[in-house]
Amino acid sequence: MSSSSGIHLSRRRFLQSAAVVSTASALPRLRSFSSAIGSPVAHSDTFLQEFSYGDVSLDSPIHERQLQQTHAVLMGLSDDSLLKPFRAMIGQPAPGEDLGGWYRYDPNYDWHTFDAGFAPSATFGQWVSALARYHAITGSQEAKEKVLRLNRLYAQVIDGQFYENNRFPAYCYDKLVCGLIDSHQYIGDPSAFDILKKTTDTAFPHLPPKAVEHGTSWRPGKDESWSWDESYTMPENLFLAYQRGAGERYRQIGAQYLNEPFYERLARGENDLAGRHAYSHVNCLCSAMQAYLTLGDEKYLRAARNGFDILSAQSFATGGWGPDETLRATGTADIYDSLSKTHSSFETPCGSYAHFKLTRYLLRVTRDPRYGDSMERMMYNTILGAKPLESDGRTFYYSDFNFKGKKLYSPHRWPCCSGTMPQVAADYRINTYFRDARGIYVNFYIPSRVRWSRDGAQVELTQKSNYPYDSHVAIAVQTSKAATFPINLRIPAWASGASVAVNGKRQEAEAGRFLTLEREWKKEDRIVLELPMSTRLEAVDPQHPDTVALLVGPLVLFAIGDSQPALTRGQMLAAKKTATQSWSVESRQGPLKMLPWTAIEEEPYTTYRRSRRQGPSTRLRIAQVFVPEVNERLYYFAGVIVMLRNATCPASLPCR
Ligand SMILES: [Zn+2]
């Protein structure tokens, strides 16, 4: 061992012991922590629990298509191709086809080109994770065998040189941890924790000693591209490793890499997001939530809640955030300006993956349905309408909310977003239902089925609906024997006038709440939920009240086409549904087609429109109401003008 790595090691050991002291001080605050490894606060009865991947089946073609497409791409990648950058980076023979793009290892890579070779092997751990989750969903033996094979091949290439030759050692380590703990959890890979230990032992001397901010240099003699790592995102997966039984060590390392100054300021309500890299800092908020769930210190919960609120205030109507991958200061016009300045509005697969995790953790801890509303908005208006991942590495990266928007693939192959997209696709089911010791929470209204048992009764809920393209959601309850428990339904904040009927008996449902239906449930009980889909406008920010997006229910409606006729607010709000996933707004120039994100393909579109508050002048409108003759005269004069034009213009000329 070289003297330099010896210095690293001793500093690491010092920091580890320091972390033990600091986390031990949090222990007396915990009620259920004392039951040792495997029973942290995360398993407290107070919080909602996730279902297992296999408990929920989705019957929604758009969700399932994304799962199957991403899975087919991953299964199509050869083991040698997947291992190639690992082997090349440590000087081993590296046979097989080079995947290219960001996945490639090129020792002469020049970051100014920002293309092939940017982040070699960075998505490997996420792909292993997605394959493991896919096995948990479907029971696929092929997926299981691939995970077991990849983990064994990977175990042969664990070497410090990989981290030395890597711009993103913490990023890669974090994703490898994720793949290995998912292999343990969902595949039952008996070697996963041993491989995790070897990975951690090997990586540690090459990682910074604590969370280092994006853009801060910590390796001497390296250019700025070596300062873009994301060590501040590591605690989330380390705490999960601890919760899943990998050992106390991972709780300690998780605490060691907490981005304390960031959390301190957020916990005080200060906008410490401004100017920071967007996706990785939302992941950092996920780490705060796992810190809260593992260590129990409420500061981390406060930081995550405040962080979410600050993020929401600078989000697009679609739920996306971070134009040009940057979070913004409060009260600026940055989001409005981005509508004409950039097409890189929201890093969609990575951003939605982080957002779903953050809001899922917050929903579990607080039971506040606005986190569910936020998840739903992001799902329908960003990731669910992403272009599919392709086998050559083409990946949907940015959603474009520019005034002149278009859905395009990233020019980079196998970017970061190709790592998160298969994970997002696997996770729709665990975002749909939650449970506590007493009952169930329905978060998403997706055609689906969930099964669980309580007090010896087998219970099954089956949802059928065309929501959100229809306001009607039918839920059938099946029980093996009569059972009394609550079914909690998320009533979105926009759904005023919502109602629910149990076996035909209807009652009102308050918007922005979980509606609790507690009764003795029997076989064949039926719940019918009505969530009225009225239109509404949302301004891009308070300074630009006339720049608005049109929404119906959770859906943003995008104006299709290059020409964008002037519209009044009244005209937009009067949008009429013309097909299952199509709306129309009447303008002076004729009907304007409006589509939800999931129905847009190659067409140009606009997310926000500058809309006039008024239609005709106020005086004319008063006259129209009180003096009917005014309207008759207007129509009369319009008719005369058409007659005169037709009389004076030859039929062959364009004036007809
Ligand atoms: Zn990404």
Ligand 1 centroid to residue 449 C-alpha, Å: 31
Q: How far is the CA of 608 from the centre of ligand 1 (A)?
A: 24
Residue 207 Cα to ligand 1 middle (Å): 22
Ligand 1 center–CA 345 separation, angstroms: 12
269 Cα to the center of ligand 1, angstroms: 28
Strand order in the sheet with 448-454: 56-58, 448-454, 457-465, 472-479, 525-530, 499-502, 505-508
Distance 119 CA to ligand 1 centre (A): 12
Centroid of ligand 1 to alpha carbon of 82 (angstroms)? 19
Coil/strand/helix, residue 540: coil
| Average pLDDT per 10 consecutive residues for the chain, totaling 656 residues | 28 30 30 36 78 98 98 98 98 98 95 88 98 98 98 98 97 98 98 98 97 93 92 98 98 98 98 97 98 97 98 98 98 97 98 98 98 98 98 98 97 97 98 96 98 92 97 97 96 98 98 98 96 97 97 98 90 97 94 97 96 58 50 50 48 37
Of 592, 552, 553, residue with least CA distance to 573: 552
Q: How far is CA 356 from CA 315, 474, 510, in A?
A: 15, 25, 24
Please give the distance, rounded to the nearest whole angstrom, from the Cα atom of residue 173 to the centre of ligand 1.
17
What SS3 state is found at 555? Answer: strand
What's the 233 CA to ligand 1 centre distance in angstroms? 14
Q: Residue 618 corresponds to which tokens in the numbers above?
A: 């106020």
CA 415 to ligand 1 center in whole angstroms: 6
Helices 248-256, 235-243: crossing angle, 10 deg rounding: 160
Give the number of C-alpha atoms closer than 13 A to the C-alpha of residue 531, restricted to the C-beta side. 28
How many angstroms does the Cα of residue 412 sit away from the middle of ligand 1? 11
Ligand 1: distance of its center to the CA of 347 in Å?
Answer: 6
Q: What is the pLDDT of residue 611?
A: 87
CA gap 304, 616 in Å, rounded? 47
State the distance from the centre of ligand 1 to the C-alpha of 346, rounded, in angstroms: 10
Can you name the residues that pair with 576 across neighbouring β-strands?
584
Between the CA of 600 and the centroid of ligand 1 the distance, in Å, is 21
CA–CA gap between residue 374 and residue 314 (Å, rounded): 13
Q: In the prediction, which pLDDT does 111 show?
A: 87
Local structure of residue 597 (DSSP, 8 states): G
> How much distance in Å is there from the Cα of 86 to the middle of ligand 1?
21
| pTM greater than 0.85 (yes/no) | yes
CA of 122 to the centre of ligand 1 (A): 11
C-alpha 184 – ligand 1 centre gap (Å): 25
From ligand 1's centre to the CA of 550, what distance in Å?
27
DSSP-derived letter for residue 565 is -
- Spacing, Cα 420 to ligand 1 middle (Å): 7
Centre of ligand 1 from the C-alpha of residue 325, in Å: 10
What spacing in Å lies between the alpha carbon of 214 and ligand 1's midpoint? 15
Calculate how far, in angstroms, residue 170's C-alpha sits from the geometric centre of ligand 1.
Answer: 16
Ligand 1 center from residue 395 Cα (angstroms)? 9
CA of 48 to the centre of ligand 1 (A): 29
pLDDT given at position 156:
98
- Give distance in angstroms: CA of 416 to centre of ligand 1: 4
Centroid of ligand 1 to alpha carbon of 114 (angstroms): 14
pLDDT for the residue 653: 41
Distance CA 370, CA 513 (A): 8
Burial class (CB in 10 A: 0-12, 13-18, 19+), 56: buried
The helix (run of H) or strand (run of E) holding residue 346 is strand 346-347
Give residue for tokens 């995102």. Answer: 233
* CA of residue 123 to ligand 1 center, whole Å: 10
Distance, CA 64 to ligand 1 centroid (Å)?
21
Question: DSSP readout, 198-223?
Answer: HHHHHHGGGS-SS---TT---STT--
Residue 523's contacts (CB-CB under 8 Å, 6 or more residues apart) are: 477, 478, 479
The alpha carbon of residue 76 and the mean position of all alpha carbons in its chain are separated, in whole angstroms, by 25
Structure confidence at residue 541 (pLDDT):
97
Predicted local distance difference test score (pLDDT) of residue 622 = 55
Q: How far is the CA of 363 from the centre of ligand 1 (A)?
A: 24
Measure 419 CA to ligand 1 centroid, in angstroms.
8
**Which residues are within 8 A (CB) of 459 and not within 5 positions of it... i.e. 6 or more apart?**
440, 451, 452, 453, 477, 478, 479, 480, 483, 485, 521
Cα 351 to averaged position of ligand 1 atoms, centre (Å): 7
E-only strand ranges, 405-534: 433-435, 440-442, 448-454, 457-465, 472-479, 483-491, 499-502, 505-508, 513-521, 525-530
Closest CA to 16 of 245, 238, 262, 267: 238
The tokens for 390 are 């392709």
458 CA to centre of ligand 1 in angstroms:
40
Could you give the CA distance from residue 264 to residue 147 in angstroms, rounded to a whole number?
Answer: 39
Q: Do 471 and 494 touch, CB atoms closer than 8 A? A: no
Rounded to the nearest angstrom, the distance between the alpha carbon of 120 and the centre of ligand 1 is 14
418 alpha carbon – ligand 1 mean position (Å):
7
Please name the residues in contact with 158: beta carbons below 8 A apart, sequence gap of 6 or more. 195, 198, 199, 202
CA of 353 relative to ligand 1 center, distance in Å? 9
Cβ-contact 582, 558 below 8 angstroms: no
The answer to whether 209 touches 260, Cβ cutoff 8 Å, is: no
Question: 230 with 214: CB under 8 angstroms?
Answer: yes
